[in-house]
């Protein structure tokens, strides 16, 4: 899956940049994260449980930074 688009946050660019580049902070923003594994500075995996009815759906979400540009 390729996720793209624009989103505005009630935070400074520097704050958003720090969260996007810190896997532990990023994990705190994602609902349902049960664990978060950092492979290196560009790849990490979130193990997520999405509540659905009686049990829930467990997913593994692999993330990889392909491009990086400092805030302007």
Contact 25, 19 (CB under 8 A): yes
Summarize pLDDT for 26-63 with one digit per residue, the tens: 888 888 899 989 999 889 999 999 888 777 889 898 98
pLDDT score for 1: 56
Res 72 pLDDT > 80: no
pLDDT of residue 65: 87
Q: Quick one: pLDDT at residue 39?
A: 93
Q: Quick one: pLDDT at residue 2?
A: 65
DSSP H or E stretch at residue 46: strand 43-50
Distance CA 33, CA 29 (A): 9
Cα–Cα distance between 39 and 61 in angstroms, integer? Answer: 13
Question: Which spans in the chain are helix H?
Answer: 13-20, 23-29
């Amino acid at each position: 899956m390729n996720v793209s688009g624009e989103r505005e946050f009630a935070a400074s660019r520097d704050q958003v940049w720090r969260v996007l580049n810190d896997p532990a902070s990023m994990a705190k923003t994602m609902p349902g994260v049960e664990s978060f594994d950092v492979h290196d500075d560009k790849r990490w995996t979130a193990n997520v449980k999405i509540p659905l009815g009686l049990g829930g759906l467990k997913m593994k979400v692999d993330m990889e930074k392909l491009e990086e540009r400092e805030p302007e």
